[in-house]
């Protein structure tokens, strides 16, 4: 017998867990036997390890199936047409979010070159930049020289039909190309124009170059990250870019909703620095409350004890006890009941005051126990705990599998491409992975035909270098 576990959206095909007579059959064959279309399966996991579809199952094996989130389901933004004039990360991440939810995103790229992230390698998959592949699914690529008169005419037709125009050139570049905001709005009053930049379309920072590291530093996040007394540390992902893209996508959807009432589009000025300041949250509240300038605290909480990272026997875990009940459960689970009789640890205020005495006692006990065992013990005691996972552990985590947070698509050059999945689910208008990250100019003829160009006209545009 083989144990089969269906995760995420694959559960529509039957019981989440079942045992079937499938010893000696491959994972792909089992999927077919269950009536699950191959395109809906993103990954096969056997006994905790990701495998290819041709692996043969043995008696007693557990086969987990992860959803590909693929198919033609209409997303919440179906019918919304987006002209994507972005490159690198903040802009493409914004349009990725729109595309995942069903928008038709037409990515405009420079003929012969394209988005510079196409060249950001290694790593690459069969010569295709992994960086580019990660943030450009569900889009159509059109090559168009916006300095060429015929290229400008193509953009005019796209804008006339668009719901949204997104760009992240340096401020002022789109206007110098002949498309200032007032002209775009005159061409299409319903269009929403979203500018994404480091420091805004006007003001003292408009001409400054903005890269993720620079903005993480200027926005205050790096002043709060790292060990006390140590050097500033950037977040390990390009979050200044990604947060700007998320806020821009949110603003676009808000503007689309406003258009339902007014019938008019509007102009959005989304900035990387704005996203960073918005993230300051409780630390900004502290500063505004009493003028204190927060400093790096490492992996501890200034106002809650214990709330920090601990070294286990074979790795690290995070433990959070925000009240007395949780601290009591923690002590019981770790066989440290004597701490509950110590007046120094009677309440959170006392624990903060006597942090230096309490933490070594917890470190000694947690450090003697394997990471997995600590997590099991504390979860059973309903104490907030979690392992610090590397990416191999993240994508093997049962919660990540269950939620379908690995998305895959078949690329004509790179082959099967994996990327982080879509982080939210909508019950009636689910997001989906419908298209592979496009080849440069893959959809030029298709889109131009939709715009009314004839085959002969498209051939002339290509011969003249406009596309």
The tokens of 73 are what? 């389901």
As a whole number of angstroms, the distance between CA 2 and CA 17 comes to 11
First to last CA, the chain: 57
Residue with tokens 């998305």: 407
Cis peptide before 405, with omega less than 30 degrees from 0?
no
Give the Å distances, CA to CA, from 235 to 242, 323, 434: 12, 29, 31
By residue count, the chain amounts to 467
As a whole number of angstroms, the distance between CA 81 and CA 84 comes to 10
CA dihedral 206, 209, 214, 215 (to 10 degrees): 30
Q: Is 240:219 a contact under the CB 8 Å cutoff?
A: yes
Residue 241 annotated in active site: yes
Cα angle at 233 between 222 and 374, to 5 degrees?
110
Please state whether beta strands 104-109 and 124-125 pair in parallel, antiparallel, or not at all (unpaired). unpaired
As a whole number of angstroms, the distance between CA 46 and CA 3 comes to 10
The tokens of 131 are what? 């960086």
Residue with tokens 């459960």: 329
The tokens of 263 are what? 């019938």
Give Dmax over CA atoms of the chain in angstroms: 87
Catalytic residue among 33, 145, 241, 314: 241
As a whole number of angstroms, the distance between CA 465 and CA 210 comes to 31
Residues annotated as catalytic (active site), given as ranges: 241
């Amino acid at each position: 017998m083989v144990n089969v576990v269906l995760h995420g959206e694959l559960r529509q095909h039957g019981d989440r867990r079942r045992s079937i007579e499938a010893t000696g059959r491959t994972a792909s064959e089992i999927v077919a036997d269950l009536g699950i279309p191959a395109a809906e399966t993103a990954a096969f996991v056997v006994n905790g390890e990701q495998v290819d579809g041709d692996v043969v199952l043995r008696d007693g094996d557990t086969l987990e199936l992860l959803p590909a989130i693929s198919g033609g389901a209409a997303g919440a933004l179906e019918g919304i047409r987006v002209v994507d004039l972005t490159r690198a990360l903040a802009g493409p991440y914004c349009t990725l979010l729109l595309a995942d939810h069903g928008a038709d995103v037409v990515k405009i790229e420079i003929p012969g070159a394209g988005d510079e992230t196409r060249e950001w390698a290694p790593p690459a998959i069969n010569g295709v930049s992994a960086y580019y592949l990660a943030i450009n699914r569900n889009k159509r690529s059109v090559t168009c020289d916006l300095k060429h008169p015929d290229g400008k005419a193509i953009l005019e037709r796209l804008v006339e039909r668009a719901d949204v125009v997104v760009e992240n050139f340096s401020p002022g570049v789109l206007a110098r190309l002949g498309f200032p905001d007032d002209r775009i709005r005159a061409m299409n009053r319903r269009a929403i124009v979203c500018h994404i930049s480091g420091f805004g379309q006007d003001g003292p920072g408009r001409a400054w170059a903005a890269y993720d590291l620079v903005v993480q530093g200027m926005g205050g996040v790096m002043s709060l990250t790292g060990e006390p007394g140590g050097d500033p540390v950037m977040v390990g992902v390009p979050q200044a870019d990604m947060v700007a893209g998320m806020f821009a996508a949110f603003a676009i959807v808000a503007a689309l909703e406003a258009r339902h009432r007014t019938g008019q589009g509007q102009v959005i000025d989304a900035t990387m620095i704005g996203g960073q300041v918005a993230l300051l949250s409780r630390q900004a509240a502290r500063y505004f409350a009493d003028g204190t300038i927060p400093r790096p605290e490492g992996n501890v909480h200034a106002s809650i004890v214990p709330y920090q990272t601990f070294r286990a026997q074979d790795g690290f875990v995070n433990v959070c006890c925000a009240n007395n009940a949780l601290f009591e459960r923690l002590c019981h689970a770790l066989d440290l009941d004597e701490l509950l009789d110590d007046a120094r640890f009677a309440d959170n205020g006392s624990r903060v005051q006597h942090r230096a005495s309490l933490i070594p006692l917890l470190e000694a006990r947690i450090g003697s126990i394997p990471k997995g065992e600590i997590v099991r013990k504390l979860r059973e005691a309903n104490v907030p705990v979690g392992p610090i996972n590397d990416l191999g552990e993240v994508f093997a985590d049962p919660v990540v599998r269950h939620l379908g947070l690995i998305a895959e698509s078949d690329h004509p050059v790179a082959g099967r491409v994996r990327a982080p999945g879509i982080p939210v689910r909508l019950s009636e208008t689910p997001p989906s992975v419908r298209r592979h990250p496009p080849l440069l100019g893959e959809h030029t003829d298709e889109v131009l035909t939709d715009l009314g160009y004839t085959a002969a006209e498209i051939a002339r545009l290509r011969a003249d270098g406009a596309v």
